[in-house]
Structure 1
């Protein structure tokens, strides 16, 4: 399996090289040259596997340069850190199947990918004798999951940028109370889009990238997306066992298009997903794209679901590559046009193609609170705000003849204020959060200026 860039100037990479490169050197995003597929019979053979074994079988289809035994160990070690024996259990509430992705160390779905990626980085660096300085931007959960994935590991430093005052208090504490010498938290005086743009700009400085051996943990790194593909397989198997259904629909709360792009890859591989339901909050660039072909950047609105407070979805370029028939020149032109104007336009034929795979709905804060309250009253089950956006969007747009799976992306305790305003009480506080506000903190506040952040990285890089 070889990897290429969406922009066409980087080709023929191995999986390991793609992981270590992160963002392609031509500014594009890396993808496998072909997406492997499963027949119905082949798919059925995977249905009885445990989550780690299923992950190995799916991921190994994309990896041919790491010995199978080593890859299996990396995956098994990653998921041994999850508190639930099923890793990503699925529960049925009020006729909806909720895929709980928050049983990892930081209680967010990002752990599914970043526990694996941390192991993978350490393995590849140990093999090569090299070092790495990871730079990433977070709108909430990626930061803590990435930090927990690499804290204390040899040959790795990690620099995480988050928008100051625009993540939940628990999310900030999860990042800033990790005081390992190799961890650096930067509170950027701006939005997540500002932070994400800075990270991309830094990676675009190829001399700086090479000098400091920069690596990526954001979903610009293909291994992040690949690990998330697995739970769409797992969800299908669990629902199919109970219902005997031929297809499912999956509702995905998303801001950066990474999680739902993983669903797109799973669908292309053969998982019988009729439609992916794209759920956004008031930052609705992605839902506007699906519903109206309107991909135009707007002001970022701070919301109760901060991990989705994004207007420029970094993984969207990967989907464009397929929407444009793998035409890298068309992708380059589109991204250049968007950089200049903040707008992308699509033909009626392209929009029809989009709508054959996706449906979408935007859910504002008031509707989010109502969804949490209603679901809790009817089932006793507590949704976090992001999951509530997914549940509400799914219920609005679902095909009622098919089972609906909603991805639950975070534990409700991570957003206690929003949950309390909805149900009138604090969500149960997991042990890992108890007393977290009293722990020592490590944090730097910094301007949203690329050169200042590059100087900080240069000063502290390994």
Structure 2
């Protein structure tokens, strides 16, 4: 299995595909593109049948070995076995088994269709990001120990990526984490979960701006190839291929648990901001998983919904980006969207590069086929199963109340966005699986507004906001950020 960049326009780049281990510790390709497999591995019906009885760790091994072909099987099996255990994913609700890792719960099963919630919040930081990040931490430690090397992780978070990365990397030999977040724009729980860490290898930087400012700084540093090489800069954002492919596993898991026959199809609804989570669903579908629809659910920052309705991708300015009650989706420039566009335009790297240059220079592109547009590829979106919808603050309040009243389940704000949009696209005979984003406790301010009471918290998180916090505040200045990393990187 080899990997190519979405912007590999030169003959030399095309002739030098990379292995999984070559791209594991990095983020962007040297040309500024994102890595994807040269060809998607295919899954047969016989394999799906054989995988139905596997544990989550065993399933992760079977899927990941198709992508990480240069890691010895025994090592990969040991890594997945170490990662996906009930001890790591122990924060299950009282009526769920942590053995399941990602348990399914049927919410509705009637004439309109079947609505299922897939739990992804049982990890250490109570969010779906743990599903990939815990594996990434073990993969990084494995690769660094093998080469006797060190790594400085530089990432950005709108809420959950940061804590998931820091909890996965804390105490890892040879790893330091520099994590950017938008100052005063995360929930109190998310902020405390990150900033209360006192580990000497963790550095939290609150940026005076929005998430897109943080993400732009990560890309700017990643595109400085000399600085990146000298200071051994890696990333855990979803531009990192290993993180995306680890998320592919729970799509297979959800399908296998929701169906009894490979003749059946399911649909998935995914709360979406940076397009990484649903990009994993796109990859699963390209591998042959029987997915009918991939439903993109956005909040008021509806850039992706606008594209999947109209074919116009229009990035918002920071001043136009709303601060909402589902803050992890307060994103107007979706990094992983480039991976899908690369497939949408027939894996034409030159065209992909030109379109995203236009994003940088003009703020977007238009594939609707209308006069004066940049192309007509939007007509092919249906071939990939994508549809979309958006949700507002009032919508999520209403959905949180409905789910609590009807099923005695307290959902977080992002999952509420997902359920609201899922109901708009549900079909009889095709189960609709909504991917949970996080436990409701991480967004208690809105739960209190919706239900008039606090969300329940797992043991150990009762007074997290009262813990001492360690972070610095910085302007969105790339030069300042580079100086900060250089002073602390050890190089």
Fold similarity call, TM over 0.5? yes
CA distance in 1, matches of 2:26, 2:155: 13
Which runs of 5 or more structure 2 residues have no equivalent in the other structure?
91-97, 110-114, 370-375
**Partner of residue 89, structure 2:** 82
Instruction: Measure how far apart 1:437 and its partner are.
Output: 2.2
Runs of 4+ in 1 over 4 A off after TM superposition: none
Instruction: Measure how far apart 1:41 and its partner are.
Output: 2.2
**Partner of residue 301, structure 2:** 283
Alignment of 1:41-190 (within 5 A): 41-80=46-85, 81-83=88-90, 84-95=98-109, 96-190=115-209
RMSD between aligned alpha carbons?
A: 1.2
Matched, 1:351 2:378: yes
Alignment of 1:201-220 (within 5 A): 201-220=220-239
The partner residue of 1:332 within 353, 357, 363 is: 353
Matched, 1:415 2:436: no
CA distance in 1, matches of 2:46, 2:203: 48
Matched, 1:382 2:396: no
Deviations 1:303-325 (A, max 9, x none): 01000000000001111110111
TM-score (norm: length of structure 2)? 0.92
CA distance in 1, matches of 2:437, 2:404: 17
Q: Is the 8 A contact 2:156 2:214 kept in 1?
A: yes
Provide the secondary structure at the position in 1 that maps to 2:65: helix
CA distance in 2, matches of 1:41, 1:78: 26
Matched, 1:268 2:286: yes
Instruction: Measure how far apart 1:244 and its partner are.
Output: 8.2
Q: Is the 8 A contact 2:157 2:181 kept in 1?
A: yes
TM-score (norm: length of structure 1)? 0.98
Matched, 1:312 2:333: yes
Q: Which moved more, 1:414-423 or 1:220-229?
A: 414-423
CA distance in 1, matches of 2:27, 2:228: 11
CA distance in 2, matches of 1:423, 1:36: 46
Instruction: Measure how far apart 1:94 and its partner are.
Output: 2.6
Which runs of 5 or more structure 1 residues have no equivalent in the other structure?
none
**Partner of residue 442, structure 1:** 470
Alignment of 1:23-38 (within 5 A): 23-38=28-43
Q: Is the 8 A contact 1:157 1:182 kept in 2?
A: yes
Deviations 1:369-409 (A, max 9, x none): 11111111111111100000000000012223311100011
Provide the secondary structure at the position in 1 that maps to 2:259: helix
Pairs aligned (count): 461
**Partner of residue 27, structure 2:** 22
Deviations 1:99-154 (A, max 9, x none): 00000000000001000001001110111111100000000000000001110111
Provide the secondary structure at the position in 1 that maps to 2:203: strand
Instruction: Measure how far apart 1:75 and its partner are.
Output: 1.2
Provide the secondary structure at the position in 2 that maps to 1:98: strand
Instruction: Measure how far apart 1:245 and its partner are.
Output: 6.7
Matched, 1:427 2:455: yes
Q: Is the 8 A contact 2:238 2:276 kept in 1?
A: yes
Q: Is the 8 A contact 1:245 1:402 kept in 2?
A: no
Deviations 1:207-233 (A, max 9, x none): 100010000100000001000000000
> Alpha carbons of 1:245 and 1:420: their partners in 2 closer, same or farther (altered >3 Å)?
farther
Q: Is the 8 A contact 1:291 1:355 kept in 2?
A: no
Provide the secondary structure at the position in 2 that maps to 1:303: coil
**Partner of residue 315, structure 2:** 297
CA distance in 1, matches of 2:308, 2:100: 33
Provide the secondary structure at the position in 1 that maps to 2:343: helix
**Partner of residue 4, structure 1:** 4
CA distance in 1, matches of 2:160, 2:465: 17
CA distance in 1, matches of 2:100, 2:399: 27
CA distance in 2, matches of 1:48, 1:406: 22
